[in-house]
Amino acid sequence: MEPVARIATADSVDIVELAAVAARTFPLACPPSVAFEDIASFIDANLSEERFAEYLADPQRRILTTGHDDRITGYAMLINGVNDDPGVQRALDIRDIRPAAELSKMYVLPAHHGSGTSTVLMDAALVAAADWGAERVWLGVNQKNQRAQGFYRKCGFTVNGIRTFQLGAHIEHDYVMVRQP
C-alpha cells in the first residue's frame, strides 16, 4: 500500500504515538558524538506529548503524518516564516521579502526508510507550505547527516548557509538548506 500523508490535528492524531515516534526517530539524525543525555534532554523539552499538543494548537505550525496499518510511520512539521537565528536570516537573505516556511522536523521510522514515505511527506509539506503562500521552504540539517542531505538535495534543496543548533550542553552545526520555486 502506498504511503499517504495527512495533516494532523489534535483530534485526528494519537499524540502519545506521535511523541513516541518522534522520540524514536530524533536520535537517528544525531551524530554518534552527541551524548545520550543531551538527546534525551532535547526529546523531553521539544518532543513530548505536551509539546505536540501545543504544536497542534499553533496556527503557525502544521504537522503531517504518514501511516501504515493505522500506525504512524513518519511525520513532518512546518513552521510558517523565518526565525530570528542570524545564520538562518543570512541563508535566506532576509531582504528577500518572499514568504518562507521552515521544514522543522521530518522523520520516518527506520522500517519505512526506502518505502517512499519520506517523498510522500516532503511532497505534502511542500503543498502545505504553498497553501500558506510560502515561496521558499528552508530547513536545518546536521552537517554530518549525509543521508538526509542527499534526500533533501534530491528534493531540490541547496545548502545556502550554516547555523548552530543547541542540543543539550552540546552545540551542533547545521547546514541551512533552501528550496525555491
Task: Give the three cell numbers for residue 64.
Answer: 503531517
> What are the tens digits of pLDDT across the range 10-37?
678 899 999 999 999 999 999 888 999 9
DSSP structural state of residue 157:
-
Range of the domain at 52: 5-179
Among the listed residues 180, 181, 111, 103, the one whose alpha carbon sits nearest the alpha carbon of residue 148: 103
Largest Cα–Cα separation, the chain: 46
DSSP assignment of 88-103 equals HHHHHTTT--S-EEEE
0.95 surpassed by pTM: no
Among the listed residues 108, 87, 114, the one whose alpha carbon sits nearest the alpha carbon of residue 174: 87
Q: What is the CATH number of the domain that holds 138?
A: 3.40.630.30
Q: How many structural domains is the chain composed of?
A: 1
Q: How far is the C-alpha of 178 from the C-alpha of 165, rounded, in Å?
A: 17
Q: How confident is the model at residue 68 (pLDDT cuts 50, 70, 90)?
A: confident
> What are the tens digits of pLDDT across the range 158-179?
999 999 988 877 788 999 999 9
Q: How far is the C-alpha of 144 from the C-alpha of 149, rounded, in Å?
A: 9
